[in-house]
Amino acid sequence: MTTDWSTVKGVLIDLDGVVYTGRIPIPGAAGFLAEARQRELKFLLVTNNSTTSPELVAERLHGMQIEVSPHEILTSAQAAVGYVKLHAEPGARVRVVGEAGLRQEVEHEGFVVVEDGEAHADWVIAGLDRAFTYEKLANATRDIMRGAHFVATNADALLPVEGGEVVPGAGTMIAAIQTATAVQPVILGKPEPGLFEHGLRRLGGLAANEVAMIGDRLDTDVDGGRRAGLHTILVLSGVTTPAQAANAQPPPDAITSDLASVARLFWP
């Protein structure tokens, strides 16, 4: 069935491979965002990265001449803490296994951050932590074994870095805690539905069939968007090759070269 793109009122847009590659902006991305604002198409730029705040993400984009506001950014840290906010008591005690972006979001929502050596927490939220230690693992394990709820920002086992290398990602730390506790966390990042559901709320409560996910990865962006009931658009400006796109099952609703081509899809 052909998608009527004129019915789409909002979009979730992946960052790396769609808006930029590494430190280099992808041509046409800034123009798409500017036109989206002009045409009142709601959008959020989404990332599984939980280590930095929306303010720092916006600042980085500003350095690439891509003008966005922090409120137009959605991180997996925001989705994870948003999930806790929906299910926890106000002022709940939260242990953070993660970096500044995750901790700041927990504090912003009014939860009490449990420090190492303090009494046990009601919730454990885990994400990428490049200072992960045995002590952090032990503290999180004790909390969960005592009944704390276990939430994870994303399950990415590896994190690509510049130069074509990879390093351990959030999923590696989460797997250690899960192995120690035998407790499966609630995972919020792509391709799990939580980040997409949080995005729909941030877009003013739009229905899933009114929103499209735009990304460069079949396994996280397209699969996650489809599972959440969104329309899906695969761009070929990132990691997915044309051959891989052609063989995708089920296929995305549209395949385009980049965000500039998405603009022509929405506004022919």
Model confidence at 96: pLDDT above 90: yes
**What are 35's two structure tokens?**
């036109």
User: Residues 30-77: pLDDT tens digits?
Assistant: 999 999 999 999 999 999 999 999 999 999 999 999 999 999 999 999
Q: How far is CA 21 from the centre of its chain?
A: 17
Domain boundary among 138, 157, 187: 187
Apex 212 CA angle, 29 and 199, nearest 5: 95
Model confidence at 94: pLDDT above 70: yes
Residue 109 resides in a domain: yes
| CA dihedral sign, ordered 201, 205, 209, 213 | negative
Give the range of the structural domain holding residue 251, as residue numbers without chain letter: 5-48+190-266
Residue 35 resides in a domain: yes
Q: Which whole number is the average pLDDT over 235-261?
A: 96
**Among 4, 14, 156, 253, the one annotated catalytic:** 14
| CA dihedral sign, ordered 164, 190, 218, 235 | negative
C-alpha Rg value of the chain to the nearest Å: 19
Q: Tell me how many domains the chain contains.
A: 2
Q: For residue 149, which of 201, 83, 77, 196 has the smallest C-alpha distance?
A: 83
> Angle between the 193-202 and 76-87 helix axes, to the nearest 10 degrees?
80
**What are 169's two structure tokens?**
């990602």
Model confidence at 1: pLDDT above 60: no
CATH of the domain at 105: 3.40.50.1000
Residues 134, 165: contact at Cβ < 8 Å? no
The residues, ordered by sequence, that sit 6+ positions from 228 with a Cβ below 8 Å of its Cβ are 193, 196, 197, 208, 213
User: Residues 76-93: pLDDT tens digits?
Assistant: 999 999 999 999 999 999
Residues 232, 225: contact at Cβ < 8 Å? yes
| pLDDT over 90, % of the chain | 92
Average pLDDT, the chain: 95
Residue 78 resides in a domain: no
Q: How far is CA 119 from the centre of its chain?
A: 30
Look up 14 and say whether it is catalytic: yes
pLDDT band at 208 (very low <50, low <70, confident <90, very high): very high
Domain boundary among 152, 187, 222: 187
pLDDT band at 165 (very low <50, low <70, confident <90, very high): confident
**Among 16, 129, 156, 216, the one annotated catalytic:** 16
> For residue 151, what are the β-bridge partners?
125, 186
Q: Which whole number is the average pLDDT over 174-202?
A: 97
Distances (CA, A) of 87 to 81, 82, 117, 251, 267: 10, 9, 25, 35, 40
Q: For residue 230, which of 46, 31, 17 has the smallest C-alpha distance?
A: 46
Q: How far apart are the first and last CA of the chain?
A: 19
Domain boundary among 140, 157, 187: 187
Residue 249 resides in a domain: yes
